[in-house]
Chain A
Amino acid sequence: MINDKGLKQDLKLELDIKLQANFDHFNLTVSQKINSAGITGIFGHSGSGKSSLLRIIAGLEKNHVNGNITFNQRELLNTKTQLFVPPEQRNIGLVFQNSRLFPHLSVRQNLEFAQKCLIKSNQNKNSTLNIDDIIALTQLTPLLAKQTSQLSGGEQQRVALARAILAEPKLLLLDEPLSALDKHSKANMLALIVTVQQQLNIPILYVSHSLAELQQVASELLILANGTVVDYGDVHQVIHRLNHAQQHNKAQLISPQTSLALPIFAHNEQHALTQLALSDSQSIYLPLLSSNDNETSSSNYPVGAMLRCYIFADDISLSLTEPSNSSIVNHLLGQISTIEKFGEYSALITISCSEHSFFAQISLMSQQKLQLEVGKNIYIQFKASAIKTLANSSLVNTNNRHISSTLFQNQQAPIEE
């Protein structure tokens, strides 16, 4: 039990943002409604304005900001009526990139600080969360007596997350929470963020420059580039739309990829493969979702559970005939739905397979050789290891691996916010 009312306190997020901010050498113009009960990812490269947007929502940026922000019918900012709710009265939590734990307090005292603030701010109401439950949830018990300087980066972020939760925010902001962590801590922290969201039902805005992170956890995605919103919507649909950016003469923000959420059908220990159901008749296989690592063992991936995964477009190849004598595990029959030029020497082919879109990046030479055209039936094939997911060690930061700098046509030199 996490709180009095049972496990969940049904929190919804209705955030209405209309603002213009003029910082030095950088403008941010956002007019966007964000409605979500889950995790909303905010993706953008350095200098896109994503962190500034988060700080404005938090109330940490006041100067040079014009417009209004309404959060669940409560006005937080209205520059016309000169309304500005200070950050401590917004009921919004923020986990910073660099934990910002108070160094003169122990881990437990850091957590208690948040609870004291909460009790002070609503005099007659006690906190609904039990500190020991949150400590258990975030696995902090062995660290409680430690000084914050003795903690590893991953531990610090876990404390920061627990501390933010204990202030019982109605909205939790995460500003690049994994960027200072090593690969192993990243996977654990990401899993913890999902658990926290599911257990406590706090709406989360998650800012990151890593699409891989957001693809794993976000239900919606907001894309920022050069201080403006490029897209907003369902995470898979947005990623797929971003694949086509060049078609619309926009900057290519991501490496083209297929984003999927599929139910786990079976774990095949013998062949060390996990089978995902693409449809009633078609499956795809990836390396078995279990490892020696207890924290990401297959027990976290029961049959029937949904798995988020993605496949880079240049990891998918095409064949006109069924590849029966190939070492490649996955091959699916589909139909070409679009063909577009990608960069100078390659083409991006969209293939529809069991009502899923797959994206393959092939050379123009291959495209001509196979005489590909829209409507044609084709086999797509990719290795089991091409399927990337949280449990898969190759998850982290491989996302932008093939974007050449020339593709960032509209990207200005990065400004660190």
Chain B
Amino acid sequence: MALSTLSSITTNGDLLALITTLKMAALSTVILLLIGTPLAWWLAKMQSRAKVFIEAIVALPIILPPTVLGFYLLIAFAPQSAFGQLWQQITGSQLAFSFSAIVLGSVLYSLPFVVQPLQRAFEQLGNSYLEAAAMLGAKPLDSFFSIVVPMTKASFITATSLGFAHTVGEFGIVLMIGGNIPDETRVLSIALFDHVEAFQYGQAHLLAAGLLIGSFILLSLIYLLNHVRGDQHVVGKNHD
């Protein structure tokens, strides 16, 4: 990016990056909840010894350098790969360096942040209320939405916020599989990196502080909510 670019244009670029980031995080969070909830339920109810391995796989993104995940995804998403070709056939567009690629990457990367709080909540809730609901004739899906979800509401809020915040903050994977295409894969963390590389410390400060404060506010809200509500129903005195 040229040094002579007017600050107003850069700000427009940053605005575009912000919109891309929010779009990516929102879409990822929705997909995460759709995948993560049944996965967390399955893990919570699982009694097989294979459980620990699946838990380990889900937790991998927490400790793995994002570049490792990014590297494998880059290979998987490449137009020559089987998955990349399949994607091309179905959607008609290339997967690597696309918005879809960074959403898929984010889903994998933020999975533990959604699955773990939900799994813990489901485990704590136990079977007793579900058994009670079944004995009243409630179908499993009905019990899930009218008993489990309201009783683990706080954990759903935590899972959603953490999934969203973690996706906003990711860098390595997006850099590896997204490239840096404005309005497509250029997210805030990448824009910040660009500014620093280009010695645009003013804009860098703006983005860094914005991300810092935004994350701080979001996390404070989560903790505040958890303090007020607790998972009070889950650990309530009615529990077996």
Name A's B-contacting residues (CB within 8 A).
58-60, 86-89, 91-94, 96, 98-104, 113-114, 117-118, 120-121, 148-149, 163-164, 167
Contact = CB atoms under 8 A, between A and B. Distances in A.
Contact residues of B: prevailing secondary structure: helix
A58 B135 contact: yes
Interface stretch (B83-91, B110-118, B146-154, B185-193): B146-154
Contact of A98 (B138, B140, B233, B238): B238
Contacts of B237: 149
Contacts of A118: 137
A121 B137 contact: yes
Given A99-B238, A104-B151, A149-B237, A87 B146 contact: no
B129 interface: yes
A164 B238 contact: no
Contacts of A89: 137
Interface string B210-240: 0000000000000000000000010011101
Contacts of A148: 238
Given A98-B240, A102-B129, A103-B233, A87 B134 contact: yes
Contacts of B137: 88-89, 91, 114, 117-118, 120-121, 167
B124 to A, nearest CB: 13
A167 to B, nearest CB: 4
Interface residues of B, number: 22
Given A101-B238, A103-B238, A167 B136 contact: yes
A120 B129 contact: no
B131 interface: yes
B130 to A, nearest CB: 10
B132 A104 contact: no
B190 to A, nearest CB: 43
Nearest to A117: B137
A102 to B, nearest CB: 6
Nearest to B137: A117
B139 interface: yes
B1 to A, nearest CB: 53
Contacts of B142: 117, 120
Most A Cβ at <10 Å: residue of B133, B137, B150: B137
Contact of A100 (B131, B146, B150, B151): B131
Nearest to B146: A113
Contact of A92 (B128, B135, B139): B135
Nearest to A163: B136
Contacts of B147: 102
B129 A100 contact: yes
A58 B128 CA distance: 14
A100 B128 contact: yes
A117 B141 CA distance: 12
B136 A117 contact: yes
Contacts of B129: 100, 102
B135 A104 contact: no
A89 B137 CA distance: 6
A148 B139 CA distance: 23
B138 A117 contact: yes
Nearest to A96: B132
Report, nearest first, the 6 A-B pairs whose CB atoms are least far apart.
A100-B132, A117-B137, A94-B135, A87-B134, A167-B136, A88-B134
Nearest to A93: B135
B199 to A, nearest CB: 55
Nearest to A101: B238
B136 A104 contact: no
Given A104-B150, A104-B233, A117-B142, A60 B134 contact: yes
A205 to B, nearest CB: 13
B15 to A, nearest CB: 42
B132 to A, nearest CB: 4
Given A98-B238, A104-B150, A120-B139, 11 more contacts: A87-B135, A88-B139, A89-B137, A92-B135, A100-B238, A102-B129, A102-B133, A104-B151, A113-B133, A113-B136, A149-B237
